[in-house]
Amino acid sequence: EAGVAQSPRYKIIEKRQSVAFWCNPISGHATLYWYQQILGQGPKLLIQFQNNGVVDDSQLPKDRFSAERLKGVDSTLKIQPAKLEDSAVYLCASSLVREGAGEKLFFGSGTQLSVL
């Protein structure tokens, strides 16, 4: 079974530029998540989709971050304009359903973003 695919693996941009990340979840997984992991910290949820609807985007900086999940499959996360503090690993994850028995998320390898 193919895992969660993310691209690109690495991205270096200058502040105020824009950047986009792409995620393809595991086939059949209804729930998709974007997490931000800053160096030395644990992953922090940015946005959660159930099919193509947003379940939780309370921690998404909506003035600069946007995300969409068209047709309930692939998703893109965009930052415009980027700030220095956006330097982090952006992780995409998916799960089959929102399980009550513990949220077993499957993560992609992430996109490491450096904002200079």
Q: Which residues fall within 8 angstroms of residue 112, CB to CB, at 6 or more apart?
A: 9, 10, 11, 88, 89
- The contact mask relative to other proteins for 46-65 (x = CB under 8 A, - = no) is --x------xx---------
Among left, alpha and beta (phi > 0; psi -120 to 50; other), residue 81 is: beta
Least separation in angstroms between CB 45 and other proteins: 5
Under rule CB under 8 A, residue 40 binds other proteins: yes
Under rule CB under 8 A, residue 103 binds other proteins: yes
Minimum CB distance to other proteins smaller for 1 or for 40: 40
